[in-house]
Amino acid sequence: MHSPSPRRLLLDAFAECLSVISTNNGYRTNVGADWTLEPRPGDATSTGVFTALIEKQQRAADAAQVQTHRLTTVAVIAKLPADTDHLQERLDDLVTDIEMAMSQKQRRFPPGFTYPVYLGMEPLMPESAAAGWVGVSVTYQSHIPK
């Protein structure tokens, strides 16, 4: 059996941070219950969607790491059911929960991995507010071993 790739170890560390999101743990949503590393298509009208995907890899930004590491961008995707009167509130809840869950969790990332740096957030809005969901993509970057 093969040992996990550095990309899988990175996603597993994200899972450890993000799957704890629940109102019982002091968060605003229960999206952590929907965590999966095997996302399935869906419009999230009845259940949530919560995953992390490797968006891209590129040459390390630090010259000292070019031979040993890759700069890896991870997109955290979250979608929750939401009624038309609370789309912005639910969007803010998702972003707040993700940022809080990722805050100060360096110990959850393997040795040799840099702690993910926040890059940005983009709302994932349905074409129609009546679709019944709202979502977000929050991107992070980390240098991970080759």
Q: How many residues does the chain have?
A: 146
Res 84: pLDDT: 77
pTM over 0.85: yes
Q: pLDDT tens for residues 13-49? A: 999 999 999 999 999 999 999 999 987 655 545 578 8
Between 11 and 47, residue with greater pLDDT: 11
Sign of CA dihedral 98, 100, 106, 107: negative
Cα angle: 13, vertex 29, 134; to 5 degrees: 95
Between 27 and 129, residue with greater pLDDT: 27
**Residue 81 near residue 30 (C-beta atoms within 8 A):** no
pLDDT at 7 over 70: yes
Res 141: pLDDT: 97
